[in-house]
Amino acid sequence: MNEFGAKILELLSYNASSPLIFSSGLFLYLFLGFFALYIALRKRVNLRILYVVAFSLYFYYKSSGIYFLLLLLAATYDYMIGYSIYLSKSKRTKQWLVGASVVINLALLGYFKYTNFLVDLSNQLFGEGFLQFQNIFLPVGISFFVFQSMSYTIDIYRGELRPLDRWIDYLFYLSFFPQLVAGPIVRAKDFIPQIRQRPQLTREMLGTAIFLILTGLFKKAVISDYLALNFVDRIFDEPLLYSGFECLMGIYGYALQIYCDFSGYSDMAIGLALLMGFRFPKNFDAPYQSATITEFWRRWHISLSSWLRDYLYISLGGNRKGNKRTYLNLLLTMLLGGLWHGASLRFILWGALHGVALALHKMWLSVVPWAKKDGASMVLPVRLIGVVFTFHIVCLGWLVFRVDSMQTAELLLHQIFTAFDTSLISQVVVGYPAVMLLIALGYLLHFAPKRCDRYFEGVVTRAPMGVQVALFVAMIWLVMQVKSSDIQPFIYFQF
């Protein structure tokens, strides 16, 4: 086979060790080719929809291999169930149908996400070999498209959405590649009206998209990846080798890493969708600026927190059945939110920590009449105290979220509280100049006022096309300077 044929075969093959991600050079080349033909098809609605679906399925195949068939399966059964709910005249039948959709989706999610955990647990309880089961591969982003699919049938059942007439349109919604593997979780009622509209790309939309893609690349490929490989992973792997200050900076570093990784993906997804004429809601809003844990969850992974609120918390009764039931509903919602991330004790503890914190904040508001429900309305000194306190509660959660075992968490905390030698701080800063600079820069940008973000967005948006291209080339050069030889998948690919 000649070299050209080998390249084509490589493009058409799935490589588990090298999934297709937004921050890779391969995706850039593929998207440029895709986008050129997409623009040419902007007036041909049906062809454009088929083209985007084909590229989206290819993108998911390059991320998860043969498991792209799961996407087709979910699109088929929920499309049929949604239409059946709409046509049914019996409330009881509607309930059975929406229940079937929820059960099928949760069964699909449960099989791939929790079978390995249950098998391991059974073997630990009843002896090794009690259950023989081959290790199950977790398809990338299955939690995201399953939640999107469930919201479609539930919204039809609630009378908030009319079902789509064409299966291909529903597959377009479910498989749309910018948000397919790591969100944001886009509601059907927000996305569906945009499917058959002629794509428009104004000068302002183009500039905003470029700004979002540039900031997303910087967050993910420069800050997040560099911190992970050169500092955070080392601290979490062997905490006893490091001082208390280094362990504390490792936790702060991970808080910045996971934010930059996930919000960077969301920025790129929103920017890519905007280039194609689709508008997605914001998924992150400077969450570490929050003065309360409730405010944090209004700013962190907004699409998931709002999904849990609308489809789980409210369904459990929300705050309509008294204070005690409200606290229980908050705890259950966050426990299930933790389980959504995976079947592991650390995710359960992470969800429980946030559930308890949310319940305690709700309780505080009920017993202290002068407490400010909205953290943004607090006087500045009180708000600063709230921001620092909330940030450290969140960091405690990230510690539990990140470690491989609770023993590692104990070792990290032990080092922080028993081996914190202030005389070593200057040595650590000098020893890790690039790491400390990126941590400082990352938090400085995160805590900068919103007007700064709007100012720089305006500068990029209004800049001539030549300047925008130069900025993009400069960002690619910067990414190439700091990237490692191995591709660093997005953290939320595992969820």
Q: 66-70, 252-256, 362-366 — which one is most confidently predicted on average?
A: 252-256
Of the residues 341, 354, 361, 446, only one is catalytic, namely 341
Mean pLDDT of 208-235: 90
CB atoms within 10 A of CB 489: 17
- Give the pLDDT confidence of 244-276 residue by residue, as tens digits: 999 999 999 999 999 999 899 899 899 999 999
Q: What are phi and psi of 180, to 5 degrees?
A: -70, -45
- Give residue 205's pLDDT: 86
CB atoms within 10 A of CB 31: 18
- Give residue 317's pLDDT: 82
Residue 361: active-site member: no
325 versus 388: the higher-pLDDT residue is 388
Provide the percentage of residues in the chain whose pLDDT is more than 90. Answer: 32
**Which residues, at least 6 apart from 157, have a Cβ–Cβ distance to it below 8 Å?**
85, 94, 95, 97, 98
Q: Would residue 286 be called left, alpha or beta, if left means φ above 0 and alpha means ψ between -120 and 50 degrees?
A: left
State how far the Cα of 457 lies from the Cα of 455, in Å rounded to an integer. 5
CA 445, 447, 451 angle in degrees (round to 5)?
80
Mean pLDDT of 186-195: 88
- Say if CB 420 and CB 245 are below 8 A apart: yes
- Give residue 135's pLDDT: 67
pTM for the whole thing?
Answer: 0.89
- Give the pLDDT confidence of 82-136 residue by residue, as tens digits: 999 998 888 899 999 999 999 998 888 888 887 777 777 676 666 666 566 666 6
- Give residue 399's pLDDT: 94
- Give the pLDDT confidence of 430-455 residue by residue, as tens digits: 989 999 999 999 999 999 998 888 88
- Give residue 140's pLDDT: 77
Provide the percentage of residues in the chain whose pLDDT is more than 70. Answer: 89
Tokens encoding 237: 């792997």
195 three-class SS: coil
Mean pLDDT in the chain? 85
Asked whether the predicted pLDDT for residue 391 surpasses 90, the reply is yes
- Say if CB 268 and CB 213 are below 8 A apart: yes
Query: Where residue 65 falls among pLDDT bands split at 50, 70, 90?
Result: confident
DSSP secondary structure of 38-96? HHHTTT-HHHHHHHHHHHHHHHHHHHHGGGHHHHHHHHHHHHHHHHHHHH---HHHHHH
User: What is the maximal distance between C-alpha atoms in the chain?
Assistant: 76
240 versus 133: the higher-pLDDT residue is 240
State how far the Cα of 465 lies from the Cα of 423, in Å rounded to an integer. 51
- Say if CB 138 and CB 63 are below 8 A apart: no
Tokens encoding 25: 């050079």
Mean pLDDT of 462-474: 84
